[in-house]
Structure 1
Amino acid sequence: MVRRQWRAIGKALWRVVAVWAVSTVTMLALAGILPDFRLQSADGDTATRIGITAALGAGAFGLLGALVWPILVRALLLVPALVLGLLVFFLNGSLLLVALRLIPDGRGEANPETAVVVAAVMSAVASATSTALAVRDDDAYRRRIYRLADRRGRLAPPAGTQPPGTLFLQLDGVGHDVLRHAADSGLMPTVAGLIESGHRLTPWRTDWSSQTGASQLAILHGTNHDIPAFRWYEKDTGVVMVCNRPASAAELQRRAVARTGHGGLLTVDGASRGNLFSGGADQLALVLSIAARRGRANRSRAGYFAYFSDPANAVRTALSFVAEVGREIGQSVRARLRKDRPRVGRGGLYPFIRAFATVVERDVVVAAVIGDMLAGRSAVYADLVAYDEVAHHSGPRSRDAELVLRRLDRSLALITRVAEHAPRDYRIVLLSDHGQSPGETFRARYGLGLGDLVRAGCGLPVPRRATRTHSGAEARSAVLAALHRPVEEGGEERGLSRRAEPIVLASGNLGLVSFPGVPHRMTREEIDRRNPALLTTLANHPGIGFLLVRSEEHGPVVLGASGAEVRLAEFAGDPAAAPGPLAPFGPGAAAAVLRTDGFPHVADIMVNSAYDPEDGEVLAFEEQIGSHGGLGGEQSRAFLLSPAAFSEPVAGGGELVGAEQVHGVLRRWLLPAGSAEDCPGVPPDGVQDVPKLPQTPSGCDPQTG
C-alpha cells in the first residue's frame, strides 16, 4: 500500500515537471514569435537566463491557474454564464500579466492584447500535455474529470461492487430515419458501432405535440397530460405557457409530479444534464425548470463552474465558440449566394445562439456526464440540442446538420471511451424526443402567416406588414437563461389586452387559436355564430391539413377541405385509425388527436398544417425550414437505441407509441434485473401501472430535484 502511494506521488510529480517543461518551451517560442512579448531585460540576457525567466513565468502562471482561477470563476457565477464564457480570454490574460509581474527584476513583459494570446496558447498546450500524460493513468484521468465536474470529496465505490449504471443520452430532434442514414453512411461511426455490437434500434411514435416539452416531460416524469403544444394559452389563468420558459417548465414539472405521484425517472442517485426538466435528480446542471430560482438550492448553474473552472477547457470552448459563429456566418452566406430554397433568415443573434447550443452547452453537458460516470452515478439523463438547433434553420437533411451529427458522434465516442474507466459498468441508451420534418414556411409559400389568416376569417383587418413569429428552438431558452433574462416570446401575448381578438400561437406546424374573451372552450357552433367564415376559411386553405374543434352534438370533430368532417368518437376504439383528412398523416393519427382533445387547456381551434407524403414536407407556422410540433412526416418518428441486455421495449416487437410508453420502458430497465418479467406490459396511455422505483426524499419534490 505504501509503495503504491509513493508510486502515485512520483507519477504526479513527473506530470507536473513535464507540463512545466512544455509550458516553459511554449513560452520561449511565443517570446520569439510575438514582438510585444519579451522575457529578458532591455540590455539583453544570456540564453540560460532567458530560460530561467521562462521557467519562472510558466510556473507562476500554472500556479495561479490552479489556485486563483477556480476562485475567480466561482465569484463570477454571479454574472451571466454566457458572459463568463466571453470573459475567459481576458481573465486568463490577466493571470498571465500577474505571473509576469512575479518574475524577479521585471524581465517579463507583455501588452494586454498579447497576454491574452499567450495565455490562451499556453493553457491549451498545458491541457493537451497533461491529458496525453494521463491517458494511461486511470487514477489521474479520473481525478481530472472529478475536478471538472466538481466532484471533490466524493469517491465512487470500487468497480465490481455495484450493479451497472444507465446513461440516457437524448439526441434532440434526431429522427429515426436520420439516425439510420447517419449510421449506414458512415456519418456517425460510433452509433454504427453500437448497432453492430447488438444495440437494438427501435422507432417510436410521438404524441400529436411532437416537441421536447411534451416528450421530455413524459419521458422523465411519466406524463405529458395537458400539454397540447409547445406554447398555449390557458384561459383560467390568462397565461401563455411556453415549454422553454423557466417559470412554465417549473409549473409543468410540478403538475406532472402531482399527477403521477412520483418524483421522476432519476430519483435514485440520478443526474439531469441540459434538460428542460429535472426527472427528480438531485444532481443538476443546465436544467431549465429550476433556472428561474435563485439561491443556494439552485445548483443548475454549477455546471458552468464545473467546466469553466479549468482555464484550458474554458479557452478551448471559447475558441470553438468563435469558430462556430464564423462557420454559421459562412454557411448562411453560401446559402444566400446559391439561392437555396427553402431558406429562412439566419442573421441577428442567431449565429451566437447556434454557437451556444453546438459548443458551450455541448461541452458543459458532456463534461458533466463524464463526471457523473466516473463518480459512479446510477442513472444519468442528458440532452444534446445541437442538431435540433441547426436543423431548424438549415434543414434536417442539410450538409450543415450532417456536420453537427458528425461532431455529436465524436462526443458520443468520448463518452463511450470514458465509460471504460468508470468504477461501474454503464449501459448506454441513445434516444430522441422527436424528429424533424422539412419544408418551407407557411408565410413563405402563401405570403401571410396563420395569424393573418385567422384575422381575415374573423373579418378583422390584416396588417400590411405582419410581424414574424419567433422560432421555438430549445437553444434560445438556454441562452436567455444563461444571460439571466426571462424567456419571453414577445408577441403571443399582445392580443390579451384586446379581448375580442383571437390569440394565435405557433408550435412548428401546429397552430392554436384561442378566444380569450370566452372563459370556456368554444364549441364549433359558438365559433360559427361568432365568426361564420372562420372555420371554412381555415379548413379550405391549401396550406392547412385539418382542424380540431369540439361540437356540441358530436364531440371532437376533425374538419378538412371541401366540407370533410370526421367525428372522432366513432374511432375511439381503433388506435390505428386515420380517416378522412387524417389519412395522409398515417396510422394512429385519430388516436393522437382524440387524446389531445381531452386536455383541459386544448385551444378552441387546433390547426395542423398540410403534409405531402411524397416528399415528407410540412409547412411550419414558425420561421423554420426544419420543424416539429404537430403531425406529418419524420417529426413524429423518434428512436430508441438500447443495449441487447435490456428487454425489448414492447413485447413481441409491437409498436412503441407515445412518450409516456417510453417512460414506462425506461423505468422497467432501471429496475435491478431490467428484464421483461419485471414489467410484462406497458400501458398504452397513462402512467398508473408503470413499475415503481424507490423514492429518495429529494426525488419527491420537484423543487429540490
Structure 2
Amino acid sequence: MVGERWRKAGRAAVRVVVVWAVSTLTLLVLAAILPDFRLTSESGNSLTDIALTAAWGAAAFGLLSALVWPIVVRAFLLVPALVLGLLVFFLNGSLLLIALSLIPSGGGEAQPETAVVVAAAMSAVASATSTALAVRDDDAYRRRLSRLAVRRRGGEPAPETPGTVFLQLDGVGHDVLRYAVDSGLMPTVAGWLGGEQPTHRLTPWRTDWSSQTGASQLGILHGSNHDVPAFRWYEKDAGRLMVCNRPAGAAELQRRAVERTGHDGLLTLDGAGRGNLFSGGAEQVALVLSVAARRGKNNRSRAGYFAYFSDAANAVRTAVSFVDEVCREITQSTRARMRKVTPRVKRGGLYPLIRAFATVVERDVVVAAVMGDVLAGRTAVFADLVAYDEVAHHSGPRSRDAEQVLARLDRSIALIAKAAAHAPRPYRIVLLSDHGQSPGETFQGAYGVTLKDLVRAGCRLPRARRAERPVRGAEARDAAKIALHVPVGDGDGERPGRRSEPVVLASGNLGLVSFPDVPGRMTREQIERRHPALLSTLAEHPGIGFLLVQSEEHGALVLGADGAEVRLDEESDEATEAARPLAVFGRGAAAAVRRTDGFPHVADIMVNSAYDPATGRVHAFEEQIGSHGGLGGEQSRPFLLSPLEFSPPLADGRELVGAEQVHEVLRRWLGECEGPQVPVEISRPEGTSGAGIPIIEHSWQDDSS
C-alpha cells in the first residue's frame, strides 16, 4: 500500500516536471521569435542562464495560474460573462508580467500586447501537455475522475444504476439530422445509428401548433405547455406581453406549469439543467433563463461561467474561438451579399457577437458543465445546445454555415460521450430536438409589407410612420444579453399604443392579432362589425395560409382564401384536414389548431403563413429565412434519438404527438433506470396525450426498435 502511494506520487511528480519543462521550452522559443519579448539574467546571457530564467518564469506563471486565476475569475463573476471572456487575454498577460518580475535573478521584458500573446501560448501548451499525459496514464486518469466525482457528490459514492443525459439540439429537425448523418457531417451520431449493431433508435415526433422552444421545452421538462400559444403573445387580462425567452416570462411560465401538473419537473431527482429556458425542477442549474432574474449570491444561473473560466486554458481557448467565430460570420455574411444569395436577411449590428456567444461561449460552458455532471454521477442532466438554431435562422436550415455548426455539435456530443465512458456510473445519452426549421423568404421580403401593415390596412388605419426594429426571436439573443448584463425587458417588439389599435405579434410564421380595448376574446362577428374588411384582407392574401377565429354561432373556425371555412368543433379530423385550407398542412393540423383554440390567452386572430409542400417553404413574419413557430414543413417534425436499452417511445408504431407526450416518455425512461423512486404515470384520459389530444396511429420507417 505504501509502495503504491509512492508510485502514484512519483507519476504525479513526473507529470509536473514534464509540464514545467515543456512550458520552459515554450518560453524560450517565444523569446527567440518575438522581437518585443526578452529573457535576461544578472549572471550573463548564456544559453544556460537564459534557460534557468525561463524555468523560473514558467514555474512562477504556472503557480500564479493555479493559485491566483480562480480567485480572479470569482472576483470577476459579477462582470458580464462576455466581458470576462474579452478580459481573459489582459488578465493572463498581467499574470505573466508578474511572474517575470518574481524571477530571483534576472527577469524578462515584454510589451503588454506581447505578454498577452506569450501568456496565451503558455496556457494552451501547458493545458495540452497535462491533458495528454493524463490520458496516456489511464489509471491516473480514472483515479482523478473518480476523486472529482466523489468530491462533487460530497463524498458519497455514485449509484450503480444508469444515469441519463438529455442533449437538446435546438432547432435540428428530423430530416436535417438524417441528412447530416447520411452526408458524414455527424460521424458520432452516425455510429450510433449505423453499423451491424446500432445502439440507438431514431424517432420523429410532431410538435404542437406553437413549434418553438418555449412551448416545446416547457412541455418536455415540466409536462405542460398549456396556454403557450406562441413565442410571444398579448395577455389582455394583465395588459402585458409574454415572451418565452424573457427571464420574467420564463419564470412565470414555469410557475404555471408546476401549478398545473403538481410536480416540479423531469429533473427533480438529483438533476441538472444547463443552458435551458426552464429548470425542470433541477437543483443544479447553469445558464437557465427561468432563474436568471434572481440576483445576489444565491443566483446560480451564472455558476457555469466560474466553473468553466476558472481554468485559464479554457478561458483562452474560448476567447480565441469567440474572435474566430465573429470573423467567420463577418466573412460568410459578406460573401452572401457579394454573391447576392437569396433569400437573405441582414446580419450586421450585434448579430456576429450573438452568434459567437451561441456557437462558442454557451456551447463550451454548457458542454463543460454536462461533462462535470457526468463525472459527478448525477442522475439526470438536460442541456440545450442552441448553436444550430441561431445560425439557421439567419443563414438557412440547409446552408453551409449551418452544416459547419452541425459538425461542431457532433464533436461536442463525442466529448460528452467520452466523459460518460469514464463516469462513476453507466450513462445513457438521449439526443432530442424541440422543433425543426422551415426555409423561406420572409413575408415582408416576398410581398413588400409586414403583417402589421396588412392588419392596419384591413382595419383602415394608416401605415405606421416610424420604421420598427425587425423582430427577432432566436433563443440565444437574450441569453447573450443577460451574459452581457444588458437590461432585458419583459416585452418584445410590438407594444400597445392606442388601446383601440390592434397589437400584432410574430412567432416565426405564426402571427397573432389582439385588440386590447375589448375584454376577452373577440368573436368573428365582433371583428366584422368593427373592421368589416380585416378578415377577408388577411384570408385572401397569397402569403397567408389560414386564420383561426372564434365564432359566436359555429365555435372555432378556420378561414382561408376564396371564402373557405372549416368548423373545428363537429367534423372528424380526417374530413377537416382534407378540406381547404388545412389540407396542405397535413395530418394533425386540425387537432393542433383545436387545442390552441382552447387556451385562455389565444389571440383574437391567429394567422399562419402560407406553406408550399413542394418546396417546404413558409414565410416568417420575423426577419428569419429559417423559421419555426407555426405549422408548415420541417419545423413541426423534430426527433428523438434514444438508446436501445430504453423501451420504444410508443408501442405499435404510434406517433409521438406534442411535447407533453414526449415528457411522459422521458419520465418513463428515467423510471426504467431508477425504479419506483421516479414518478412515471400522470393521470390522463384514456387514449389521449397530455393535452387531451387523441393519440394518432402512424408508422415511421426510421423508428426501428
Secondary structure (helix, strand or coil) at the match of 1:223 reads coil
Question: Is 1:587 matched with 2:591?
Answer: no
What does residue 510 of structure 2 align with? 510
Distance 1:535 1:222, change over 3 A: same
Q: Which residue of structure 2 lines up, in the alignment, with residue 645 of structure 1?
A: 645
Correspondent of 2:690 among 678, 686, 690: 686
Task: Please state whether the residue corresponding to 1:671 is helix, strand or coil.
Answer: helix
Provide closer, same or farther for how the CA distance between residues 683 and 287 of structure 1 changes in structure 2, counting only shifts above 3 A: farther
- CA distance in 1 between partners of 2:545 and 2:564 (Å): 11
Q: Which residue of 2 aligns with 1:9?
A: 9
Distance 1:462 1:469 in 2: 16
1:187 Cα deviation after fit: 1.0
- Aligned residue identity for 1:249: A
* AA of the residue aligned to 1:630: G
Using the size of structure 2 for normalisation, the TM-score is 0.94
Give the AA of the match of 1:538. L
Which amino acid letter does the alignment assign opposite residue 684 of structure 1?
T
Which amino acid counterpart does residue 638 of structure 1 have in structure 2?
P
3-state SS of 2:77 partner: helix
Q: Which residue of 1 aligns with 2:231?
A: 230
Residues of 1 paired with 2:11 and 2:593: CA distance?
63
In the other structure, the counterpart of 1:697 is: none
* 1:58 counterpart letter in structure 2: A
Q: Which residue of 1 aligns with 2:664?
A: 664
| CA distance in structure 2 between the aligned counterparts of 1:671 and 1:575, rounded to whole angstroms | 39
| 2:539 is the alignment partner of 1:539 | yes
Give the Cα–Cα distance (whole angstroms) in 2 for the partners of residues 80 and 426 of structure 1.
34
Where in structure 2 are the equivalents of 1:154-165 lying within 5 Å? Answer: 154-155=154-155, 157=157, 162-165=160-163
2:77 matched to which residue of 1? 77
Contact 2:271 2:381 in 1 (8 A): yes
Sort the Cα spacing of 1:150 and 1:81 in 2 relative to 1 into closer, same or farther, 3 A: farther
Cα distance in 2, alignment partners of residues 575 and 111 from structure 1: 77
- Does the CA-based 8 Å contact 1:392-1:626 persist in structure 2? yes
- 2:258 maps to which residue? 257
In the alignment, the residues of structure 2 paired with residue 372 and residue 231 of structure 1 have an alpha-carbon distance, to the nearest angstrom, of: 33
The offset of 1:285, in angstroms, is 0.7
* Offset at residue 653 of structure 1 (A): 1.2
Give distance in 2, aligned partners of 1:77 and 1:147.
Answer: 26
Partner of 1:351: 352
> Corresponding residue for 1:655?
655
Report the alpha carbon displacement of residue 123 of structure 1 after superposing the two structures with TM: 0.4
Q: Does the CA-based 8 Å contact 1:575-1:590 persist in structure 2?
A: no
Kept after mapping to 2: 8 A contact 1:508/1:622: yes
Distance 1:683 1:422, change over 3 A: farther
Larger displacement relative to structure 2 (483-492 or 439-448): 483-492
Higher mean displacement: 273-282 or 409-418: 409-418
Shift in Å, 1:153: 6.8
Kept after mapping to 2: 8 A contact 1:304/1:364: yes
1:329-365 CA distances to partner (integer Å, 9 max, x unpaired)? 1110111111100000011110110000000000000
Give distance in 2, aligned partners of 1:33 and 1:148.
39
One-letter amino acid of the counterpart of residue 623, structure 2: E
How far apart, in 1, do the equivalents of 2:668 and 2:534 lie? 47
What is the letter of the counterpart of residue 165 of structure 2? L
**How far is the alpha carbon of 1:136 from its aligned partner?**
3.3
Distance 2:615 2:567 in 1: 29
Aligned to 1:377: 378
Matching residue's letter, 2:589: A
Aligned length: 686
Quote the residue 1:194 is aligned against: 192
Q: Percent identity at matched positions?
A: 75
After superposition, the Cα gap between the structure-2 partners of 1:670 and 1:213, relative to the gap in structure 1 and judged at 3 Å, is same
Residue deviations 1:560-615 (CA, integer Å, cap 9, x gap): 00110011102366699453211110001000000000000000000000000000
* CA gap 1:42/1:80 in 2 versus in 1, 3 angstroms: same
Tell me how far 1:686 sits from its aligned partner: 2.0
Aligned twin of 1:213? 214
- Work out whether residues 23 and 122 of structure 1, in 8 Å CA contact, stay in contact via their aligned partners in 2: yes
Q: Kindly state the Cα deviation for residue 683 of structure 1 after the two structures are TM-superposed.
A: 6.1
**SS where residue 90 of structure 1 aligns?**
helix
Identify if the C-alpha distance between structure 1 residues 678 and 115 changes in structure 2 by more than 3 Å, giving closer, same or farther.
closer
Sort the Cα spacing of 1:582 and 1:144 in 2 relative to 1 into closer, same or farther, 3 A. Answer: farther
1-side partners of 2:36 and 2:486: how far apart? 40
Q: Distance in 1 between matches of 2:294 and 2:492?
A: 25
In the TM superposition, structure 1's runs of 4+ consecutive aligned residues that sit over 4 Å from their partners are: 41-44, 138-153, 572-576, 673-683
Residue number in structure 2 paired with 1:176: 174
| Aligned-partner Cα distance in 2 for 1:601–1:8 | 64
CA deviations 1:111-151 (Å, max 9, x no partner) are 11111000000000011101100113456546877999996
Change in CA separation of 1:483 and 1:404 when aligned onto 2, cut-off 3 Å: same
Which amino acid in the other structure matches residue 452 of structure 1?
A: D
Aligned to 2:698: none
What is the CA-CA distance between 1:415 and the residue it aligns to?
A: 1.2
Describe the SS at the equivalent of 1:512: strand
Aligned to 2:701: none
Q: Does 1:92 align with 2:96?
A: no
User: Structure 1 residues 412-421 or 228-237, which shifts more?
Assistant: 412-421
Q: Secondary structure at the match of 1:135?
A: helix
SS at match of 1:460: coil
Give 1:46's aligned residue: 46
Q: Is the 8 A contact 1:568 1:590 kept in 2?
A: yes
CA contact (8 A) 1:233 1:601 kept: yes
| Offset from partner CA, 1:84-118 (integer Å, 9 cap, x none) | 11111111111111101101244212111111000
Question: What's the CA shift for 1:675?
Answer: 9.9
Q: Once the 2 structures are TM-superposed, how far is the Cα of residue 3 of structure 1 from its aligned partner?
A: 3.2
Conservation of the 8 A alpha-carbon contact between 2:224 and 2:261? yes
Amino acid at match of 2:38: R
Partners of 2:689 and 2:82 in 1: CA distance? 40
**CA–CA distance in 1 between the matches of 2:21 and 2:590?**
69
CA deviations 1:173-223 (Å, max 9, x no partner) are 000000011111111111111112231100000000000000000000000
Give the match's secondary structure for 2:581: helix
Match of 1:167 in 2: 165
Query: Does 2:249 match 1:276?
Result: no
- Aligned partners of 2:505, 2:35: CA distance in 1, in Å? 58
Distance in 2 between the 1:310 and 1:487 partners? 29
* SS state at 2:76 partner: helix
Contact 2:231 2:507 (8 Å CA) reproduced: yes
Q: Distance in 2 between matches of 1:5 and 1:688?
A: 62
> Where in structure 2 are there 5+ consecutive unaligned residues?
694-705
- Whether the 8 Å contact between 1:190 and 1:409 is mirrored in structure 2 is yes
CA distance in 2, matches of 1:632, 1:514: 23
Normalising by structure 1, we get a TM-score of 0.94
Give distance in 2, aligned partners of 1:407 and 1:426: 22
Deviation at 1:81, TM superposition (A): 1.0
The code of the aligned residue for 2:6 comes to W
Q: Is the 8 A contact 2:148 2:376 kept in 1?
A: no
What CA RMSD, in Å, does the superposition of the two structures yield over aligned residues? 2.3
1:38 Cα deviation from its structure 2 partner: 0.8
Cα distance 1:674–1:65, how it changes in 2: closer, same or farther (>3 A)? closer
**Aligned to 2:355, what secondary structure does the other structure show?**
helix
Cα separation, 2, equivalents of 1:89 and 1:146:
32
Alpha-carbon spacing, 1:634–1:688, altered in 2? closer, same or farther (3 Å): closer
Question: Residues of 1 paired with 2:367 and 2:518: CA distance?
Answer: 47
Name the aligned partner's letter for residue 518 of structure 2: V
Is contact 2:162–2:673 with CA below 8 Å preserved after alignment? no
Task: Note closer, same or farther for the CA distance 1:368–1:156 as it changes in structure 2 (3 Å cut).
Answer: farther
Q: CA deviation at 1:12?
A: 1.6
Superposed, which structure 2 residues align to 1:233-252 within 5 Å? 233-252=234-253
Change in CA separation of 1:218 and 1:200 when aligned onto 2, cut-off 3 Å = same
Structure 1 counterpart of 2:314: 313
